Chains A and B, each alone.
Chain A
């Protein structure tokens, strides 16, 4: 279990943490670093740093486009780990989660990957297509735990209580609650559904819950925060902002302002 994540969730400031997803090295290494620094300066508690895979199976069109761009630029997971090192040098407080698919980690291979991301200063990993049924998930979880790092697990609206309990047993850091059945950035979250799902999880565990998928605006973030979760996760909305304003020479500071409009709702 990551000490830094524990400290983040033990603190009552901000009340609800903003977890924001960035595609590492998107639109390029240098700009991405500036964007993430702005996110940290504007109150983001945890950065999810994504690494791309061409056959990513849970990404909607916005994040898929960003993944493809990074692959086209030729930036690799090693570049993204270097980027993460710079983020850690910039902030010792922010939580950092490496997020992506098992393909890249399997080829890295996993033990080497864990060594490198630990050295880079991450707190946790999240692997979208690695359920606990997968051998490589077991290996990754064991290696991360050895280093005191967390493997963030996902739960979905389709996850029944028995399965939820199995997942809670192996969770650390926080639980990533997927709000809707679907790919990233398409469907909108319904706060009534989210609330009953949060309650269902809280009936079984005290682990912090971060709620993601379908949160597209500061208003959405506030609504979801009121369901009782400890964090809200925003991904596609920020990546989309970057895509739509890619030619803006003040993109980092303007993204910072946009992120601020979310964090100020969550204090």
Chain B
């Protein structure tokens, strides 16, 4: 890694970039600071340990089922009549999303650091059910924190997590409130390991989660080279906190010829409509009142991307002009869901349909047929079926 690489950050205090415009950092209470430094040291030590990395690779293969396929969406490509579209099939991982790779990594790390109890937060419940599965496998008790609005709309993930033996703490609200409460729960139990679900919160979480998820981009490179003879021209992923997209693009950050587009929910598009602020442990773009007293943002149908803020790596990449960020509406997400279900026989989660909408409605059509667009299809749709049926009906009439 060179000094001019976008992969050099963050620095030891968790900052991406330099000076006052740097993003990230550590904005938490004193009680957690020792735990965060301990975690950072534990992480830096673990990633130098070949046995640890081998163990992670073993379970990635045999427990999660990695690598996830890179699939040529031929019917969709033909329907749109432009670029060649590939799906990175993260929804085929065990527990149905990219989240489990991070849960596995952090739980192995927690185990290595001698931790016995786990805390996590969740929006769509994908991180909760994934963490609960790995927690069960390694016999570690887990408390998950979720907003009541999300608990009601992604019930399948809650049921699964409970079957795995995890406990659930419900707070009024959505992912935002879950993240704030998870920090409170950790402050009350600083000896526990907090398994943060996205590239958000105080340092070192953005770094750790990006490290775990960067396997997605490495697989994309290898698979695309062997299947297509070249790497993708464009990678598109949805962004709530931004972990699947960070994982998909990290490998290609120093390759400007690979165009990268992150797509947020229209109602919570922090990178398009937000300003820099400091909340929930990090400096990053967010939707907030001018005086910084209140977080803002409406509701999206995608529970996992209903988040007023975003991981600091993405804010840094936006400021650097290295990645483009846009947003998609509920209507576009539902339309994209319908098209992908009917052309490819894939029942996707609603969140990655924000990214699919960007491809379908704005990117694919005017591109030549040898232009490769890779969609990070990061979650399966079972959790959203009630919501989808409620909005567009089962017959799509």
Top 6 closest A-B pairs, CB basis? A107-B292, A156-B31, A103-B292, A182-B188, A154-B30, A54-B294
Tell whether A41 is near chain B: CB-to-CB under 8 Å.
no
Tell whether B317 is near chain A: CB-to-CB under 8 Å.
no
| Residue of B281, B291, B292 with most partner-chain A CB within 10 A | B292
User: A-contacting residues of B (Cβ < 8 Å)?
Assistant: 13-15, 20, 22, 25-35, 176, 180, 183-184, 187-190, 277-281, 283, 288, 290-295
CA distance A120 to B220 in the complex (A): 58
User: B-contacting residues of A (Cβ < 8 Å)?
Assistant: 51-60, 71, 76-78, 101-108, 128-131, 133-136, 153-160, 163, 167, 178, 181-183, 186-187
Contact check: which of B27, B28, B188, B277 meets A181 at CB < 8 Å? B188
CB pair A154 B29 closer than 8 Å: yes
Is chain A's binding surface mostly helix, strand, loop or mixed?
loop
Residues from chain B with Cβ under 8 Å of A57 in the complex? 28-29, 180, 183-184, 187, 280-281
Given contacts A103-B279, A104-B293, contact A156 B30 (CB under 8 A): yes
Residues from chain A with Cβ under 8 Å of B189 in the complex? 181
CA distance A263 to B294 in the complex (A): 35
CB pair A158 B280 closer than 8 Å: no
| Residue of B25, B29, B180 with most partner-chain A CB within 10 A | B29
Contact check: which of B15, B27, B293 meets A76 at CB < 8 Å? B293
CB pair B188 A136 closer than 8 Å: no
CA distance A262 to B28 in the complex (A): 31
Q: A70 to chain B: closest CB distance in Å?
A: 9
CB pair B277 A54 closer than 8 Å: no
Contact check: which of A77, A102, A178 meets B27 at CB < 8 Å? A102
CA distance A131 to B14 in the complex (A): 13
Contact check: which of A52, A107, A131 meets B26 at CB < 8 Å? A131
Contact check: which of B27, B35, B277, B283 meets A158 at CB < 8 Å? B35
Given contacts A57-B280, A104-B293, A107-B277, contact A131 B33 (CB under 8 A): yes
CB pair B279 A135 closer than 8 Å: no
Q: B46 to chain A: closest CB distance in Å?
A: 21
Could you name 16 residue pairs across A and B whose Cβ atoms are closer than 8 Å? Answer: A53-B279, A53-B294, A57-B29, A57-B183, A57-B184, A58-B187, A59-B184, A103-B292, A103-B293, A104-B291, A108-B292, A129-B28, A133-B14, A136-B27, A163-B33, A182-B187
CA distance A163 to B32 in the complex (A): 12
Given contacts A103-B277, A103-B278, A107-B288, contact A54 B26 (CB under 8 A): no
CB pair B288 A181 closer than 8 Å: no
CA distance A186 to B189 in the complex (A): 13
Given contacts A107-B288, A158-B34, A181-B187, contact A53 B293 (CB under 8 A): yes
CB pair A134 B25 closer than 8 Å: yes
CA distance A40 to B34 in the complex (A): 36
Given contacts A55-B279, A183-B187, contact A178 B30 (CB under 8 A): yes
CA distance A168 to B26 in the complex (A): 19
Q: B279 to chain A: closest CB distance in Å?
A: 5
B27 to A, closest residue via Cβ:
A129
Q: B13 to chain A: closest CB distance in Å?
A: 5
CB pair A129 B29 closer than 8 Å: yes
A182 to B, closest residue via Cβ:
B188
Residues from chain A with Cβ under 8 Å of B29 in the complex? 57-58, 128-129, 131, 154, 156
CA distance A130 to B278 in the complex (A): 10
B309 to A, closest residue via Cβ:
A55
Contact check: which of B32, B187, B277, B295 meets A106 at CB < 8 Å? B277
CA distance A52 to B283 in the complex (A): 18
CA distance A180 to B129 in the complex (A): 31
CB pair B25 A135 closer than 8 Å: yes
Residues from chain A with Cβ under 8 Å of B288 in the complex? 103, 107
Given contacts A103-B288, A129-B281, A181-B190, contact A54 B295 (CB under 8 A): yes
